[in-house]
Structure 1
Amino acid sequence: MNLKDQNWKNFTTNHLRDWHGIWTRYSPEGEVTESFQSLRSFQSHSKETEIVQKNHYAYSDGRRVEQSWEYNQLSNSLSNGLFHPQNESMRGIFFESGHAAWVSTKLKTDSYFAVELFFKIQELRHSVGIVYDESGRLFRTANIREDATGFPSQYWSNEINQLPERDFSGNWQGTAVTITPDLKISEPVVTQLHWIGEGHKTFFLPDGVSISCPGKVSVGISFTMAANWLVKTSEMHQLLVNYDECGDFSALTLELLYL
């Protein structure tokens, strides 16, 4: 199987579900700006060569909003990732485990810039969104906690406010696998936890979710954004997305770490 077909298969195998969740957005200072109920539904047609995604949002003021997109394996599955119908510069990168990311292929001046990092274990999924404005300043972050078994989730809490800190002490060891923009996947290598705190803005969200990202990004300076999920006290999953000095997406790394 070629790399783009493997990427498509990793997407369809892991994400064709009805994902019931809570979507919470935060200001650059970590304050809640809005929180609402969501359903992201993925349905397949024609032996999983065509996918329809429908997003439903239910707000506390009674508003209901729906969005939908269609993915076709022939036209959307590309050599550098899954083409997003809503944004021509976004690509979906999928690990076999279900961990994934939507990444902007390039940081451009005078344009919004965003990534979404996905974690998945069985019927649980959560993603972290990081968005920068036209000047390259952090615009907002988001946390989407989802459960394919229904709503409300038996796993995720109802808490939405961020925590002042989270303890990452301990000898976290594990393996790292990296996907490059051409969808090549590295062999696993031994690694340990590297949490980027200095020079970054850090956010400690409910249910063991954390974000580390620059407060400002610009072409000419390489940068990394990271998010992790403390699945339990002795298990952590971390995703890191790297951009080079030209502002090009250069790597997505998944680390599975244990105490």
Structure 2
Amino acid sequence: MNDQNLSSLQNWNAFWDYHLGAWDGQWTRYKPSGELSESFLSNRSFESDPEKKIINQFNQYFYNHGEHEEKRWTYSFKDHCKKDGFMHPASDYMRGLSFRDGSAAWLVLQAKKEQYFPMELFLTNKNVRCSVGMLYGVDGELQRTACIRERRKDLDDSSWSNTSELVPPWENRNQWHGITQIIDTDLTRSSINTTFEMKPQTNEEEYFFPDNIVLRCPARITLNQKFTITGIWLESKNHLKTIKAFYGNDSKLIDVRFSIYNHK
């Protein structure tokens, strides 16, 4: 197996080694203004063959007005494990990049004219996971944001609340120190020592979701201008995780960075 195939396999396994199983969750979507749009319950279930080369995904959505929706997809290692990430069966231009603990990014490799730009960034801790998402329209304008909080099915306890509304912005003045893992677009992996402060960039919008989850993203994506989209989770008063997707001046993905921080 050559290095590229090995990198693709490592990326594929990093996601499915963690995310297989059934996940009960609450999806909450918001308008760009921060106003609550909708909130509903879900179950996302992933099953595989013994070699994890065929993955079946079954999503169920339970809406507050009683409607029930289902979606199914099948991933195959042969068709969906690509040299630049694994492909979602519903979108041939989206790719998945995953870290060893299951933290991951579903994203578009390049922002293009007249193309929708969705993204979902996952952060994980054993049997719970959260993700932040956003959708930009063909004009580059932010159409909506989302926060999804999930736990493995039949888990007796979960740290997630039932709150849906955005919470007031909070500050954390700690100086955070940690390790950042990096995945480049050719799936090369590296790590560096980094620090973090809760200071947004001037061109970013901030959305403070319940349970200490934060999304930072631009209000508009402009082609041929660099931008960053970030998910933040203050897991406890002493532990913080971030995942960031960096795009360059050509609107192409540079890399995805996952960080685990502690403060001293």
TM-score of the two chains, using structure 1 as the length reference: 0.96
Q: CA deviation at 1:115?
A: 1.0
The residue aligned with 2:178 is 174
Give the corresponding residue for 1:10.
14
- The residue that corresponds to 1:74 in the other structure is 78
Counterpart CA distance in 1 for 2:29 and 2:260 is 26
Unaligned runs of 5+ in 2: none
The answer on 1:58 being equivalent to 2:62 is: yes
Q: Secondary structure at the match of 1:165?
A: coil
What residue number does 2:205 align with? Answer: 201
The yes-or-no answer on 1:21 pairing with 2:25 is yes
Matched, 1:140 2:144: yes
Give the alignment of 1:1-259 within 5 angstroms: 2-150=6-154, 154-193=158-197, 195-259=199-263
Q: CA deviation at 1:112?
A: 1.1
Let me know the Cα RMSD of the aligned residues.
Answer: 1.4
Unaligned runs of 5+ in 1: none
In 2, Cα distance between equivalents of 1:209 and 1:240 = 14
The alignment partner of 2:129 has SS state of strand
Provide the secondary structure at the position in 2 that maps to 1:174: strand
Deviations 1:222-250 (A, max 9, x none): 00011100100111000110111111111
The answer to whether the 8 Å contact 2:15/2:98 transfers is yes
Shift of residue 194, structure 1, vs aligned partner: 5.8
Give the Cα–Cα distance (whole angstroms) in 2 for the partners of residues 193 and 166 of structure 1: 13
Instruction: Give yes or no for contact 1:214–1:225 (8 Å, CA) kept in 2.
Output: yes
Q: What secondary structure, in the 3-state scheme, does the structure 2 residue paired with 1:110 have? A: coil
CA distance in 1, matches of 2:157, 2:63: 18
Instruction: Tell whether the 8 Å contact from 1:244 to 1:250 is kept in structure 2 after alignment.
Output: yes
C-alpha distance in 2 between matches for 1:136 and 1:152: 42
Shift of 1:155: 1.4
> Contact 2:109–2:252 (CA<8 Å) still a contact in 1?
yes
Letter of the 1:109 counterpart: K
CA distance in 1, matches of 2:177, 2:191: 17
Shift of 1:189: 2.5
**Residues 15 and 42 of structure 1 are in contact (CA less than 8 Å); yes or no, is this contact kept in structure 2?**
yes
Structure 1 residues 188 and 28: CA distance shift in structure 2, 3 A: same
SS of residue matched to 1:97: coil
Report SS of the residue matched to 1:11.
Answer: helix
Question: How many angstroms apart in 2 are the aligned matches of 1:230 and 1:180?
Answer: 25
The number of residue pairs the alignment matches comes to 259
Q: Distance in 2 between matches of 1:214 and 1:240?
A: 13
CA–CA distance in structure 1, aligned partners of residues 118 and 41 of structure 2: 22
Question: What is the percent sequence identity of the aligned residues?
Answer: 32
**TM-score, with structure 2 as normaliser:** 0.94
Give the deviation of 1:169 after TM superposition. 1.1
> Does the 8 Å CA contact 1:103/1:249 hold for their aligned counterparts?
no
Which stretch shifts more, 246-255 or 33-42? 246-255
